[in-house]
């Protein structure tokens, strides 16, 4: 699984979240929302916190993105891209099935 984060998205995370110390950007599955069509009724949440049981970690320009073990079900078997959408002034997530 890959997670690619654009420069604009990294800048947004740095502006919006406290990524000091051991904090990284945790990507997790949350009930409700509509920012991904992969699992109906669920969407992707983000939080700035230190990893505990991370199974996926990606360091993008000094910013750690991670997925904890209990949220891996949502992301597995897909590659992910995170970009900034200037219209909504938020990040957007896209995915494609991982080529095996």
Profile the chain (100 residues) by mean pLDDT over runs of 10 residues: 94 94 95 68 92 95 95 93 95 84
Q: What is the pTM of this model?
A: 0.89
> Cα–Cα distance between 82 and 98 in angstroms, integer?
16
CA 7 to chain centre: 14
- Domain containing residue 82: CATH number: 2.60.300.12
- Of the CA atoms within 13 Å of residue 10, those in its CB half-sphere come to 13
Q: What is the pLDDT of residue 34?
A: 61
Q: Find the domain containing 23 and state its range.
A: 3-97
Q: What is the pLDDT of residue 36?
A: 56
Domain count, the chain: 1
Q: What is the pLDDT of residue 58?
A: 95
């Amino acid at each position: 699984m890959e997670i690619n984060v654009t420069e604009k998205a990294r800048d947004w995370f740095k502006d919006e979240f406290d990524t000091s110390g051991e904090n990284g950007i945790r990507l997790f599955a949350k009930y409700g929302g509509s920012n991904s069509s992969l699992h109906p009724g669920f969407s992707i949440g983000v939080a700035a916190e230190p990893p505990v049981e991370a199974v996926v970690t990606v360091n993008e320009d000094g910013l750690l993105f991670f997925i904890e073990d209990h949220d891996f079900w949502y992301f597995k078997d897909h590659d992910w891209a995170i970009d900034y959408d200037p219209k909504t002034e938020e990040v957007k997530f896209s995915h494609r099935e991982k080529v095996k």
